[in-house]
Amino acid sequence: MYKTPDGQDVFVLDCHTHFWDGSPANQRNVHGKQFIDCFYAYHTALSPKDQLWEKSKFEKYSVDDIYRDLFVDGPDDMAIIQSTYLRDFYKEGFSSIERSSQMAQINPGRFIVNGAFDPRDGEKALEYIHYMKETFDIKGVKMYTAEWNGDSKGWKLTDPSAYKCFELCEKLGIRNVHVHKGPTILPLSKDAFAVGDVDEAATDFQGLNWIIEHCGLPRLDDFCWIATQETNVYGGLAVALPFIHSRPRYFAEVISELLFWLGPDKILFGSDYAIWTPQWLVDRLWNFEIPEDIATERGVQLTDEIKRKILGLNAARLYDIDVAAKMRELAQSPVRIAAE
């Protein structure tokens, strides 16, 4: 829970977090090393200096670290853990649903652990979706369309094999599809960050919620256009939000575009932990005002009410969380950390 400077309680649901193992022991090859190195570069490039971690901790942090950073030092009430496998790069997967679920059990009620699948696995992907639903009762999945899989260097949400998976998700009530648009490698002639496939998939699967992480940046305009057309497309603030520290005016322009096009009900907070920690992000967002010239030009404001929506209420709606009941429940069971 975030306490505002004037003493109000704000419910925080952090929509994009990870419990990864990117350590050398888990790396399969140079790609695995380069992947976590790139994350670390994001961390060092956009974090305030007093928030920087050592590389070894960043590669593999502990159960205590994640609870402390999110819920004790950090203001999160709940967090969604996303699974990402990258099996071509990591022996046991980068962040597996099993490892995250085990961690989540220590303090029940705090985490929502999402699954992941690779439509290129065909029938096996469908079986795996059943397994995740039966074993972990997942409410959402994370899609990483730029993931390598043998000769394939990426896939599209509109691939026929992906559609089969989404049909099954809809049938099983796995309603929230988080999409990360990393740079796609092939074919080289296409815009590597294109978000057009979101449009089609969201139209064809009205029963699913499509949450586009980092708002499709660097294709914010395309994303805004799609999200305006499709009522079931949402924007996740991960990666966009840290600019609030290094380039606040730039962040103001991004959030203004989102508010103008999507409106305040379709923007979701995500820290992208452990790339960034929620404590400073939430604090700065709560205290942020859009500069007057930008606010006037776009005719938008970032009011306290809108901040509450972004920080937790919007995501609570997608994940069927009764916020008042949840806050009472969490107040009864403070987070326990084994080492303390």
Partner 1 sequence: MPVPQIRGAQAREVWRRLSAVTDPELDEPITDMGFVERLEVSRSGEVEIDFRLPTYWCSPNFAFLMADGIRKAAMTPAWVQKVRVQLQDHCFADKVNDGINGQQPFGAIFAALTEGGNLDEVRETFREKAFLRRQEAVLQGLRAMGWTAGQITTLTLAEFDALNLSGHAEAAAQKPRYREILVGDGLALLPEDWAFVTWRGDPIVAEDLQDHLMRLRALRINMEFNGAMCRGLAAARYKEVVRNGEEPELIDFILGRVPPRACGDSQSSRG
Q: Which residues bind partner 1 (CB under 8 A)?
A: 31, 34-35, 37-38, 40-42, 44-46, 49, 52-55, 182-193, 217-221, 224, 240, 243, 246-247, 250, 253-254, 257
Q: How far is the CB of 165 from partner 1 (least distance, A)?
A: 23
Q: Which two tokens stand for residue 241?
A: 């939000």
Judged by CB, which is closer to partner 1: 247, or 328? 247
Q: What distance in Å separates the CA atoms of residue 11 and residue 119, rounded to the nearest whole number?
A: 35
Task: Give CA–CA dist 18/32, Å, rounded.
Answer: 16
Query: Under a CB-based contact definition with an 8 Å cutoff, are residues 2 and 311 in contact?
Result: yes
Peptide bond into 274 cis (omega under 30): yes
- State which residue, 52 or 331, has the beta carbon closest to partner 1: 52
Nearest distance in Å: CB 297, partner 1:
8
For residue 317, the minimal CB distance to partner 1 (Å) is 27
Query: Which CB atom, from 255 or from 321, has the smaller least distance to partner 1?
Result: 255
CA distances from 229 to 186, 208, 232, 234 (A): 28, 15, 9, 11
In the complex with partner 1, the residue whose CB is nearer, 36 or 318, is 36
Q: How far is the CB of 250 from partner 1 (least distance, A)?
A: 6
What the block records as the tokens of 109 is 């009620």
What is the separation of C-alpha 52 from the centre of its chain, rounded to a whole number of angstroms? 20
Instruction: Look at the chain and count its residues.
Output: 340
CB-nearer residue toward partner 1: 79 or 233: 233
Min dist CB 216 to partner 1, Å, is 9
- By C-beta, is 77 or 147 nearer to partner 1? 147
Shortest approach of partner 1 to residue 98 CB, angstroms? 27
Asked if residues 176 and 116 have their Cβ atoms less than 8 Å apart, the reply is no
Instruction: Tell me the one-letter amino acid at 60.
Output: K
Q: Do 58 and 23 contact (CB within 8 A), yes or no?
A: no
